[in-house]
Structures are given as C-alpha cells and as structure tokens.
Structure 1
C-alpha cells in the first residue's frame, strides 16, 4: 500500500517564493491537493503542516517541536540540496521520508564562481566605484590604475569541496587556463591521490573557492589563521555556505590587505542585515556580495523543480526516491 493515498494527498509548499514566479513547477500526474504559501513564519508552521501528507520546504526550519504536530506527514521534500533545516533524526525515528535536490546547479554555480573570479581579478567593482565617485575626472587621463589588475588565465584556483559542484567548477576553470588544486580535508592524517594538503592549497592558490557542505567539521573552516596562510594577492570565493567563513575575520583581512578580495554569495544568517560584518562593510572596493543566487539561473531552477516533482511522484507511487536522504 502506498505511504500516501495519491488520490487524497495534501501537499503543502511552505515557501513558494523561494522559486521565482516565472518558473513553473510541473504538475503531478495524479489527483492531489497542492497548497502554496509564499512564506511561512515559525508561528504559522504548525497550523500549516498539521494535516499535510507531504511538506515541501526550501529554507523553513522543520524541527522536532513542529514535526510532532504533523501526524499525517510521510514525506518532506526539500527544494534544495542542504537539509540542515530538517531534524533528520526525528524523521528517521518516525518513518518520515526526506528527499533533497542534487545535481541541478552544476552549470549555474560554477559560472557564478568564475564570474566572481573575473570580477575580483579585474577589480571591476573597484573601478566602477572610482567612476561613481569622480576619480576618473580627478585623474584627468584616458585611463587610470587605482587597483592592480590580474589575468585569470595562468592563475591557480584552490577548490575546497570535490563533489559535483567542485568538479564542474574545476572543469570550467581549466577550460580558461586556470590550474586547479583540490584541497584535502583540513587536519587529515593522509592526503588522497589527486588532492593537495589543505594548508598547501591555501598557501599556493591565487583564489580559493568554497564548495563544500556546512557540517560541524567545516563550520568556520576559514578563519583568521587560514586567511593569514593565504597569499596577500589571493581572493576568497564562498558559494558554499555562510558558516564556512568567520565573517568578521574576513572583513578584517580585506581591510588590512591580508588578502586581495572576496566574493560572497552565502551568509551565516539569511537574509543578512546590517549587523552582519559583510553587509556593514559592503562598500569595500575589494568585496562583492550577492544574495545567495549562485544556484539560481532559470535553467537550474527549472531542473530543480523537475527533480522536486519527481521525488514527490516517487513517494506517492511507492517507488524508490532517487534523492532520498532519510
């Protein structure tokens, strides 16, 4: 017997606004009730999930205190790769399936990394700001060089995270003449074939790209000590998770010239506010901030929606879920 009756299934999407409105979510092939909520606050959560058979969430936190009220719940379909917003232990103990989305952004995220790499090496934000503030007029020359410009080709990119995104980024980087080093895990006793010791990657790279998940082992992976190990001419690019980087230490490294620049797409709290060190210093000419959109090309989001619906269809039909986490 199916875990959920596909004729009467109630499916609730808690934060539909995380998918752009111009992207269509494919329809399920069987009768069902599907309810979209633009967003869901903690105060609204219990009421919205209490009689749901399937819950779809991107970033809404589903902890045990909320899930205990969802007596009919059989499947949580996470509309993202990261599942740290779901209490997986609770779900396992109650037989609630959890699925995520994998392999949908292997074009979008690498392109964002490389875009930030070019912008930082070419110092595009700094020169743009100089024009805004009238520096070109003050210089009174056809061109001026207030920021050193570096070529991307011939540089070395250290990648921390060797999953599908890390590998796809490496392929794109190598295609434009960049040497790639994959970092071994920090404090690893041995270095695997094809990897370079973590500390050597920091010391030898012209750019370091973070593409690993956030875990207890990787939280604050890049802090003051690690930034000091990098070249003063190097840049840091974080499109992984905000908690991978000590944000205050990064700001201080940018201000002191300890590193040359940084491109950041992810933050410890999202959305970030002015209390966040990066936002508070967003006018730095060597800092580029984007609002967690590296994954978000139209083609990637369309693919995400297709995988999301496939996960739900598999659950309803009692077929193996390709992206099952629990």
Structure 2
C-alpha cells in the first residue's frame, strides 16, 4: 500500500451528522458517499485500499474488481453484507464493531417489553381519543396490564447483548431462560432446550446474528407453541422471524403481542405484512434504532477508526 491510503466510505449517512470521526493516524485520501446503490459499489471502490460500509453490500464481484483493496471495515456488528469468503480468497481483511451497544440495545428491548406488557401506547392513544373522559371514573381497563416481576423471559442468544438483557431482567424480578440452539440435543447446564423455552416463556427476545441456521428460526410452528399471552421481541436482525407468519398469528390472536426494531427488508416496503399491524395495540415497530443512542453511535464511530488505524499499524483488531 502506498504512503497515502485511499479510503471510501460507502454510506456515511447511516451515521448522524452530530457524530464525529476520530483522526486517521496515517496519510490518507477519503471519498465519502452518503448512500451507495449495490450497482454503484464496484465503480466506487475500484481504486480503494480501505472500504467502510455499514449496510451497503460488498459482493465477490465488487471485491474482484478492486485490485488494491486491503481492508473492508464494517461500521456495524453484522457482516452478512460482505462476501467474507471472497475477501479471504483475495487476502482482504474484514473487521467489524463489537460490544458497543451493550446498553442501548438491552434498554430498547426492555422499553418494548414494558410498553407491551403494560399497554402504554394504546392507553396513551385512547386518552387522546377521549376514552378517559367518557369512562366516568378514575380509570378504565380496556387493555391488559401485567407485571414483569415473576414472569419468565426466554433469551435466544447468550452473547454480550443477551447477557445484558438477562442481568436487567433479573434485577426486575424476572425468571431468565437462555435457549439452546434450535435442534440442539446436547444442551449446556446453563441453557434450556429451544422448544421448552418457546412453550414456557412469557417474553421471548432475540439476540442472534442472521445466518442460514437462524433464518426463520421462529416460524408458524414456533408461534403456535407459544403461550397465547406471550410477546415476541426482535431487536437483532430481520429474517430471524417469519414475518408473514407473525402477522397472521397476531391477527388471529394466537400470541399476546410483538415488538420489533428490525425487518427483513429495510426500509420496510408498503407491501410488507407488518403494515397490516400498525394500528394494533399489541404491536410496536421502531425503525432499526435500538442501537442508536448518541453514546453508542459515538462509541461505534470511535471503534471504526480505531480498527482502521490498528490495521495500518499491522495490528489487526476485530477481524471477522
């Protein structure tokens, strides 16, 4: 690599303007794009030595046309957007961001749980629609309210985020079950069989990467095995849940509710089955912002630059 590295940031707009990037500690030329369409990637990275991407896919074909590419620095934890094998074959290092969201994602998860278990949104909206004034008394009971204390939460994924949710849940008096992998027969003492967690949990929350093994790990069969009052939370990755099956389960009152921060296709198209659920009191959808506290985004940006600086010192950090 020459003394001046050519850096291309494919989707700077995925980080808000108020977030500042630390200084690169080496000679560099930076080209920044707010957004990049998949068809534009190959041309934009052709002469790059370092590519930064958050959500823009980098395919094998893109990598093959970038002869000087040495590093793909993913500005996120998930790396399914990058063809890792193609990078390895060409000696390109791929790095990611780790453990930056250990507060923001668990807090968002708990916020969704609180909102659903205590029916916060439907009560708020009904007050605005005049229901309280019309009730003629100090309160009304149109929507269910349930305590978290004494309930059972099933956590799918026992990494940093799943463990952080568990510690918060225990502090609230909840019983915690870590689910074993789907289909796993040799279950660790610290875990509970997948099917048992599905059937027993009052709250199921997902904290797993999206892989071929985890895609649609919650489908129609699993939804049918859940308690009719159970709620399902997904702040991890779209695609872990069969979203059409979930919409059908909610519309037929087979489960108690769902709170999602992610969907398979983002932004969500108007034809997505979740669009049918947006006015339901038992469903909450936020636009992939569980990770996005100001503190967490700045930590991500700092770690991103630290990964690149380390690479240039031949100290590889967070290699995938």
Band the TM-score falls in, shorter-chain normalisation? over 0.9
SS at match of 1:244: coil
C-alpha distance in 2 between matches for 1:135 and 1:189: 51
| Kept after mapping to 1: 8 A contact 2:4/2:26 | no
TM-score of the superposition, structure 2-length normalised?
0.97
C-alpha distance in 2 between matches for 1:222 and 1:254: 14
Aligned partner of 1:228 in structure 2 is 224
C-alpha distance in 1 between matches for 2:196 and 2:62: 45
SS at match of 2:73: strand
| Kept after mapping to 2: 8 A contact 1:274/1:280 | no
Of 37, 41, 59, the residue aligned with 2:33 is: 37
C-alpha distance in 1 between matches for 2:262 and 2:313: 36
Aligned partner of 2:319 in structure 1 is 324
- Is 1:303 paired with 2:273? no
Aligned partner of 1:155 in structure 2 is 151
Relative contact order, higher structure (CA 8 A, sep 6+): 1
Q: How much does 1:152 deviate?
A: 1.1
| Kept after mapping to 2: 8 A contact 1:125/1:286 | no
Q: How much does 1:140 deviate?
A: 3.2
What does residue range 44-83 of structure 1 map to in structure 2 within 5 Å? 44-83=40-79
C-alpha distance in 2 between matches for 1:16 and 1:156: 40
TM-score of the superposition, structure 1-length normalised?
0.95
Aligned partner of 2:173 in structure 1 is 177
SS at match of 2:112: helix
C-alpha distance in 2 between matches for 1:119 and 1:55: 39
What does residue range 23-34 of structure 1 map to in structure 2 within 5 Å? 23-34=19-30
Q: How much does 1:96 deviate?
A: 0.5
Aligned partner of 1:262 in structure 2 is 258
The more displaced of 102-111 and 171-180 is 171-180
- Is 1:87 paired with 2:99? no
5+ residue gaps, structure 1, are: none
5+ residue gaps, structure 2, are: none
C-alpha distance in 1 between matches for 2:213 and 2:201: 22
C-alpha distance in 2 between matches for 1:129 and 1:255: 20
Q: How much does 1:46 deviate?
A: 2.0
| Kept after mapping to 1: 8 A contact 2:100/2:299 | yes
C-alpha distance in 1 between matches for 2:276 and 2:166: 32
- Is 1:106 paired with 2:106? no
Deviation per residue, 1:175-220 (Å, 9 max, x gap): 1111110001111112111100111111111100000111111111
The more displaced of 84-93 and 137-146 is 137-146
Q: How much does 1:245 deviate?
A: 0.5
C-alpha distance in 2 between matches for 1:135 and 1:282: 20
C-alpha distance in 2 between matches for 1:240 and 1:207: 15
C-alpha distance in 2 between matches for 1:290 and 1:224: 23
Q: How much does 1:128 deviate?
A: 2.2
Aligned pairs, how many?
Answer: 320
